[in-house]
Structure 1
Amino acid sequence: MSAKQFHITTFGCQMNVHDSQWLGKSLEALGWAQGTEMDADVLILNTCSVREKPEQKVYSHLGRLRDLWLRNPELLVAVGGCVAQQVGETFFARFPYVRLIFGPDGLPMVPDALARLTREPDLRMSFLDFTESFPERDAALAEPGVQRQAYVTIMQGCDNFCAYCIVPLTRGRQRSRSSGSILGECRGLVDRGVREITLLGQNVNSYGLDSKSAGTVKEPGFPTVLDAIASLPGLRRLRFTTSHPKDLSPETITAFGRHQNLCPHLHLPLQSGSDAVLRAMGRKYTLDNYLDLVDGLRRTRPEIALTTDLIVGFPGETDRDFQLTLDAMRRVGFASSFSFVYSDRPGTRAANMDGKLDRDVKAERLRVLQDVQSELSEQWLGRMVGARVEVLVEGESRKTSEDLPSCRGRDEFGQTVNFPVPPEAPRDMIGEIVPVRIREAKKHSLWGCMEVDG
């Protein structure tokens, strides 16, 4: 009998990507094989509902799966992630081929549930309850030497309840993972050859702040955990995301000066440059607070690349508020940003606010903002020309130069770098960290030459 085949489609944030990677490895450990969407016996959608557009993509995708189900009535479809948590068992009534629904906390139970569902064709299951503590799951580690980059989740959920954000409703209240489990997973990854680790959480800076209220053993704060991981022998690079400005401590900022393997790149969502809008959003900091953090980071690590999230068209945003956001972008000089038009999310405070803006006004503001960011990104990339960076090679590049094969990867600042591979270099460099001298700045990436010793 051939192995069951599965296919995972992932929407949304890096946490979803990491969850899907864990699920794939876990199913492979059960003897399953990854297949294409056309050939798989089990299709899994890991969903995101932070904004309206990704949610609508889920419904559209499920509608397209109907034809596959009609050709193969034994097809099993599972829907997980934030949309599943939000919509719940409504999926069962709307899509008869959906037989498993699971929220973020239900993920650890999914591999065994899928195995059972393939044996019992009339069964449907849902895992939508939140757990009181961090939902631990068995590690699904790659063979030694295979994986060079890894993600480690350190907390789940959020207690901030920003006015526009659905995360506390779909991922629950904040629950920090035990520091021992985090450090043990990181140590195991480094021992298997992982060179770069990214710590994940809805708000990594607030790690440990929930422990006392939850009645559990008090965990150390984020700076302590960050120091311990950065000190692991053999770990070349460490990153973390996402950071809330209100919880970015002086100790975390100074860590960028203590640990050279803590990459000089921080994603620090601003959302708006207007204090009035930030107050309406419930962000709990002012623009001056944010700029003080930026100044502290640049005193500690002058070369640091700062990236951000921005929302345009929040209810009540005036032309002046929007201009303050553009001014803040230029003041900080963001290397890049993720920018979005505000959209109502069910259950959030902002959905019931007055002062909603016309769609065309929001679209025009987004266009202007993204034009400003394009200028800032071009300036940032231009300043990199002539610099020597360390590139973690991720694969072959589609770009070529002088008929030489080329590689692509990311430097310590998080920028994509392409470079030709000289004849004297090793043939297989994927997963290696190599020195590259930047020769040219493209629109969204860099082009360089690998420096070979001798």
Structure 2
Amino acid sequence: MKFHITTFGCQMNVHDSQWLTRALESRGWQEAGEDEALVYIFNTCSVRDKPEQKVYSEIGRIAAHARRDPRVFVAVGGCVAQQIGRGFFERFPFVRLVFGSDGIAGAPNALERIVAGSDERAALLDFMPAYEEREAALEQSAGSAAGSGRQAFVTIMQGCDNFCAYCIVPYTRGRQKSRHPDAVVEECRALVDSGVREITLLGQNVNSFGMDKGGAGVSFGGLLRQVAAIKGLDRLRFTTSHPKDIAPEVIAAFGEFETLCPSLHLPLQSGSDAMLKAMRRRYTLGHYMGIVEALKQARPDIVLTTDLIVGFPGETEADFQATLDALAAVGYDSSFSFKYSDRPGVAAVNMEPKVDPQVAAERLMRLQTLQNSITRKCLKMLVGTETDVFVEGLSRIQGGDAPSWKGRDPAGRVVNVRMEYGGCEDAGDLVGMMVPVRITEAKKYTLMGEGTGTPW
């Protein structure tokens, strides 16, 4: 059976889709392009309004195909599936399966039943009381690890207990459920043994790992140390962090383990204490800045990125200015910034006064202009420095006799590298390898460099 998966939203959704692809392929299914598929799977996001509307539009495009061929059907997973549930069955008759983030473990078997002739319209929407392990035998093999650039993502937890006023995640992904630390370490070790060189640990709030029973008494700092110590692992990252839960032992780990990359995504959301309180973030700007200072002391070369919301209900010009001031004070390499939008069921829906959309749009433009300026300065400071770049593939920027490759430095910045090694037709020669590089130029969002040594 030919299938096609379309993924919206966060890195956890990307990882879920990758797992689902492997699970279906192990059953003999074949991944195909949109024009050839018979089963269309949409892994969805409802953090903001536009991705949700995009899902409806994308499913609607399948309608004509489904009318022409009765074998064609759609499965909807992820956060929008959890939110809308069986409503998809009423809106789209060719939707045969909906599954939430906890239900994905049962999705492959449900899809097989439908293809085998079952008339069921299955809804896998129950939240599990504990993290449900997936088919371990289907995790990345040595061949798939090499084929994906020797990078892997490992989920360590599911759900969130924070209930920030603007966030729908606790309602669509459920309460926090930590994975057993032994299972996490075992998966990481198996990935490294198969050839993976870089691992990213994933969770809605990795810093709260172990605060529920699933963590078996192991904190995130403890788990981080176990994974960082795995022999053969070159790079380790994690996302996403909540500032209120980051522990001193996690901050200290940045200075203790060379394996732990000097980069951290630390969402601020607002620089105003009044807004942080209204958002139910449970930290102050002063507390956040203390974390930033501690991180820079532990790892002077650490690179910070963040999330920011403008136009939250009640935000004044002074509140917004406080966000601009914090952005400049920290000097984030980059940030993800958005206008606030109501999401169904969250506390902020009922908060007043709402910020005029035009005012919010103007503030967002000002914030992003400032961020672009800071980003350019951060990148320009790197010109002339040397680093190791983990090659992910050929660069879109080509020219001259030598091919250019795209990779990332330890902080996660994109670097396009001109390298006198191999040819464009031999992309696999460098993918998954570390290349010593001298940075030669700073672009708007990326860096240019030249290889200076032998790839390893």
RMSD: 1.4
> Which residue of the other structure, out of 311, 323, 342, is the alignment partner of 1:325?
323
Structure 1 Cα separation of the partners of residues 399 and 298 of structure 2: 38
Contact 1:74 1:121 in 2 (8 A): no
> Which residue of the other structure, out of 202, 221, 236, is the alignment partner of 2:204?
202
Given residue 81 of structure 1, which amino acid in structure 2 is its aligned partner?
G
* Aligned ranges 1:86-97 → 2 under 5 Å: 86-97=83-94
Please list the CA deviations of residues 379-401 of structure 1 after superposition, one character each: whole Å capped at 9, or x if unmatched: 11111111111111111111124
| Structure 2: gaps spanning 5 or more residues | none
Q: Which residue of 1 aligns with 2:23?
A: 26
* Aligned ranges 1:135-146 → 2 under 5 Å: 135-139=132-136, 140-146=138-144
Q: TM-score, structure 1 length as denominator?
A: 0.96
User: Using a 3 Å threshold, how does the CA distance of structure 1 residues 217 and 175 change in structure 2: closer, same or farther?
Assistant: closer
Contact 2:312 2:355 in 1 (8 A): yes
> Which residue of the other structure, out of 87, 99, 122, is the alignment partner of 1:125?
122
Contact 1:38 1:68 in 2 (8 A): no
Given residue 300 of structure 1, which amino acid in structure 2 is its aligned partner?
A
Please list the CA deviations of residues 49-100 of structure 1 after superposition, one character each: whole Å capped at 9, or x if unmatched: 0111111111111111112212222102100000000001000010000000
Q: Which residue of 2 aligns with 1:60?
A: 57
Alignment size in residue pairs: 447
Please list the CA deviations of residues 331-377 of structure 1 after superposition, one character each: whole Å capped at 9, or x if unmatched: 00000000000000111000011110111111111111000110011
Structure 2 Cα separation of the partners of residues 23 and 333 of structure 1: 38
Q: Which residue of 2 aligns with 1:316?
A: 314
User: Using a 3 Å threshold, how does the CA distance of structure 1 residues 423 and 106 change in structure 2: closer, same or farther?
Assistant: closer
| Structure 1: gaps spanning 5 or more residues | none
Contact 1:145 1:194 in 2 (8 A): no
Contact 1:11 1:47 in 2 (8 A): yes
* Aligned ranges 1:50-449 → 2 under 5 Å: 50-139=47-136, 140-147=138-145, 148-211=150-213, 218-423=216-421, 428-449=429-450
Given residue 398 of structure 1, which amino acid in structure 2 is its aligned partner?
R
Give SS of 2:64's match: helix
Contact 1:397 1:408 in 2 (8 A): yes
Q: Which residue of 2 aligns with 1:44?
A: 41
Contact 2:43 2:76 in 1 (8 A): yes
Give SS of 2:114's match: helix
Deviation at 1:143, TM superposition (A): 3.0
Give SS of 1:104's match: coil
Structure 1 Cα separation of the partners of residues 300 and 188 of structure 2: 28
Q: Taking every aligned residue pair, what percent have the same amino acid on both sides?
A: 57
Structure 2 Cα separation of the partners of residues 145 and 23 of structure 1: 17
User: Using a 3 Å threshold, how does the CA distance of structure 1 residues 99 and 423 change in structure 2: closer, same or farther?
Assistant: closer
Q: TM-score, structure 2 length as denominator?
A: 0.96
Please list every run of at least 4 consecutive aligned residues from structure 1 whose deviation after the TM superposition is greater than 4 angstroms. Answer: 423-427
Contact 1:134 1:176 in 2 (8 A): yes
Deviation at 1:134, TM superposition (A): 0.7
Please list the CA deviations of residues 190-244 of structure 1 after superposition, one character each: whole Å capped at 9, or x if unmatched: 0000000000000000000022xxxx67331000000000000000000000000
Structure 2 Cα separation of the partners of residues 141 and 171 of structure 1: 22
Deviation at 1:146, TM superposition (A): 3.7
Contact 1:146 1:193 in 2 (8 A): no
Deviation at 1:145, TM superposition (A): 4.5
Give SS of 2:62's match: helix
